[in-house]
A and B are shown apart, each in its own frame.
Chain A
Amino acid sequence: MFVALLAVAVGATILSGLVTIYYDIPRQMGQEFRSYGANFILTAANGAEGVSEDAFLSSTALIPSEKIVGIAPYRYETVKINEQPFMAAGVDLEGARKASPYWFVSGEWPDAAGSVLIGQEVADMIHLLPGSRFTMTGTGLDGESFSHDFNVSGIVQTGGAEEAFIFMSLNDFSGAIGERADYDVVECSISASEQELEAIGAVISENVADVTPRLVKRVTQSEGIVLTKLQALVFLVTAVVLALTMICVATTMMAVVTERRREIGLKKALGASDRGIVMEFLGEGLALGCLGGILGVFLGFGFAQLIGVNVFNRSISFQPLIVPFTLIASIVATGAACLIPVRSATDVDPAIVLRGE
């Protein structure tokens, strides 16, 4: 009986572990997919100059805070270094770092006023290294020309357009170029599926004027495709494992019944009805399934947690629904697995068994 219990418990463990992973994949992998950077951007609505501070705050307030990975509002202005034109971007650097984790920075992220990140392109053109100083000139927003010195704290490599930008904090941007009350674009990295993002976008465009929320299709759609496939994969594996476990339990139960043929024969000789014997075995089987299921729920969660921590470095959320699901599945599986051997048990001829063959 211990062997059968082991089989049921292992099956239930695998089942509940896989189902937990199945449900948690979007959440777990979603975090990984956030390394693709922004999947949702806010731009000015038609006619408006930019996204105003108010609109920015009220829009971001509409995004569920637990889903936000990073939000980076950008302001762009053209500036000159050595009389060559470049694009300066004022950004919440902390937000940019979170929203665009793929930026490869040689040197350091700026942490003091007057420190900036420059793109590889810019660094190559004017021969700057981390630690160099340069002078930025241009026409400020107030129409006056300005000239400011900055410290290069790091050089950004992305392989994309960012390599031609100069990134500075919003304070430095205001200090050098002038105060602006709006942003050109707000990049958001949100841990959510395409549908959820569309819903968030709809809420924002309904409630906040002058803002156009847009999905970065390339990121959201591909994420959806890959996650769906991974889920389908785990689902299929779960189904196969479930089938295998059922068969294992059935064969184990068959062995158990065969071992107990004598006992069955004896009971029949003592006057037990077929029905009584079936009920007895079925009862044992169901109790076994129940016990194994309970064991499996705990072990399975532990196992899923192990995968979560080892693979994704974050813990698995506990799905209460899995408890009844695993229990019912293991009881039903064990019950079904018992049926065949129990039927054969009732065929036992008491005379033969008792004669000792």
Chain B
Amino acid sequence: MDLLEIKGISKIYGSVKALQNIDLTVKQGEWLAIMGPSGSGKTTMMNIIGCMDKPTEGSVILDGTDISKENAKNLTAVRREKIGLIFQQFHLINYLTAVENVMVAQYYHSMPDEAEALRALERVGLLARAKHLPSQLSGGEQQRVCIARALINYPMLVLADEPTGNLDEANENIVLDIFKQLHKDGVTIVVVTHDPEVADEAERTVVLEHGRIARIVYNDAGDDTGKRADKDAGDDTGKRADADAALSDDRSIV
């Protein structure tokens, strides 16, 4: 069954085409990676799937609802009910303890339940650090709190933006192990990354280039030579250059 169905979406910022005519479906329980170089439209894609932005054209159907037509208030509700977000920069509230950061998500979703929040932390191996403030946690630990927070409301879709981008290798492996466990539990995961090692763990990798899907790679059980569906990448190169300049990765500007 398709959880997410993207039909012909485009996103245009002024004269820059960040996404052009993208079609994509994600099945329930699938682990999908979206890959691509800086400026390829990954982040835009993630924002649209995460209900934090709307496409200029096309429709995004999540769990049977077309979220591309909803207003901001309803999008907020969809985010709250169906999506768990994991950020590259963790985005923990620095004056709340680990367990409280998890409880914030419960609070805005329904009812805070400290015991359940503690169990969520236990699942990511952080029970001992539950009462620590983010400033007292390492990067990997912060990312695990972020994951616990994303999972606490049992979302239909977990959306991770460069979840390992700020982590060293040891922590990267811990996070990937958690993802594998989640996948085994049947959680639908979409990971946005530019790290091929992270992408390889997914069942399917969508490679974006210049706002279009360049190819789709299936990573079935270590089989690196899966089917490739090369889609035509590129009609007018001038516009692409523009898009590259404007969308050169945000993290380097800030």
Contact = CB atoms under 8 A, between A and B. Distances in A.
Q: Do chains A and B touch in the complex (CB under 8 A)?
A: yes
Interface of A: 262, 355-357
Contacts of A357: 89
Nearest to B166: A355
Which are the 5 A-B pairs with shortest beta-carbon distances? A356-B89, A356-B254, A356-B251, A355-B166, A262-B254
B131 to A, nearest CB: 21
6 contacts: A262-B254, A355-B166, A356-B89, A356-B251, A356-B254, A357-B89
Nearest to A356: B89
Contacts of B254: 262, 356
A184 to B, nearest CB: 84
Interface string B63-105: 0000000000000000000000000010000000000000000
Interface string B146-168: 00000000000000000000100
Contacts of A355: 166
A229 B65 CA distance: 76
A173 to B, nearest CB: 88
Label chain B's interface by main secondary structure: loop
B213 to A, nearest CB: 28
Nearest to B139: A355
Q: Which of A262, A355, A356 has the most CB of B within 10 A?
A: A356
Contacts of B251: 356
Nearest to A353: B254
A121 B119 CA distance: 100
Interface in B230-254: 251, 254
A262 B252 CA distance: 12
A357 B137 CA distance: 14
Contacts of A262: 254
A357 B251 CA distance: 11
Nearest to A262: B254
Contacts of B89: 356-357
A346 to B, nearest CB: 20
Nearest to B91: A357
A355 B142 CA distance: 14
A353 B251 CA distance: 12
A356 B139 CA distance: 13
A205 to B, nearest CB: 78
A355 B166 CA distance: 8
Contacts of B166: 355
A212 to B, nearest CB: 80
Nearest to A355: B166
A261 to B, nearest CB: 12
Interface in B164-188: 166
Contacts of A356: 89, 251, 254
A95 to B, nearest CB: 76
Nearest to A354: B254
A178 to B, nearest CB: 96
A355 B168 CA distance: 13
A82 B102 CA distance: 106
A351 to B, nearest CB: 12
A33 to B, nearest CB: 59
